[in-house]
Amino acid sequence: MSHRASHWLSDIPAESVTHGAFRVMFHLCDAHNSKRPPETACFPSQALLMKATGLSNSGLNKVLNQLEADGLLRRRRTRNADGTQGPTYYILGCDFEEAQPAPLSGAGSKQEQSGGKSPGDAPGSNVGKPVDKSATDSTRGHKPTPLKRASRLHHGGDKPVIEPLKEPQAKISAPLTAPANLIKSGKPFLCTRISAHTARQCKEAGLVTIEEIRDVGIPV
C-alpha cells in the first residue's frame, strides 16, 4: 500500500461509506503503486478483489458502482490487442488531479482496444500504449473477470401512495448521505466529484449548511 493512498483512505469519514465499501477501498489502496502514473497505478483483478473482500461478483460490482457514483474512484476499462478484456484501472480519489482524462465506463478508446499503435498518439500519452503490468503484485496469476453491467429490475406492484409527503423525503435523503458526509468532512479533495446540484440537494434536505458547501469549494 502506498503512503499516498493510505493517507487518502484515512481522511475519508467512516460514516460516509459502508463496511463492505471500506474493505474494497482498503484492498484497492493496498494494490496502489504511487511510483506508476495515476492512470495505471492500481489494477487488481476482479478475482483478486472478490477473494480478498469475500464479496460475490455482483456484490463487488455493486460496491464499485456506488464508490464511483460517490466520486471516490474512477474506472478505466481496456481491451487487449486480440479483443479480449484487458485490465480495469482504478483511479483513486488521491490521483484525480494528476490523472489524464480517461473514460469512466465502457471498453475504453479505440486506441486502447487496438493495443495502442495509432500513429497520431500524442507524445507521453497513456492512451493507446500497450498494457504495462510491471511493478505490481495486484494481478499475479489472475486475469480480469469481465464486469457484468446488466441488471434486472422487477416490478414491485406497489399501490400508489396517497399521501407522499413524508416517505419520499426519507428516500430522497438516503442517497445524499455519502456526499453530505464528504462535504461535512471539510476536505475539498474529497468533494471534487460532488456537483453543485447534489450539494444543493444536501442543503435542502438539511444535511449540510451553505457555509460547509462553500468551505469545500463547491460553487452554489
The number of folded domains in the chain is: 2
Written as nine digits, the cell of 33 is 503503486
Does one domain contain both 101 and 37?
yes
Confidence of residue 99 (pLDDT cuts 50, 70, 90): confident
What is the C-alpha separation between 178 and 72, in angstroms, rounded? 10
Confidence of residue 156 (pLDDT cuts 50, 70, 90): low
Residue 128 within any structural domain of the chain: no
State the DSSP string of 90-106: EEEGGGTTTSPP--SSS
pLDDT in tens, 37-53: 988 999 999 999 999 99
Does one domain contain both 10 and 94?
yes
**Between vectors from CA 101 to CA 34 and to CA 213, what angle results, nearest 5°?**
85
Residue 149 within any structural domain of the chain: no
Structural domain of 26: 3-114
Residue 137: the pLDDT is: 45
pLDDT in tens, 135-145: 444 444 444 44
Strand partners, 79: 85
Let me know: does 43 contact 90? Beta carbons within 8 Å: yes
What is the C-alpha separation between 114 and 107, in angstroms, rounded? 11
Distances (CA, A) of 153 to 122, 150, 156: 43, 10, 9
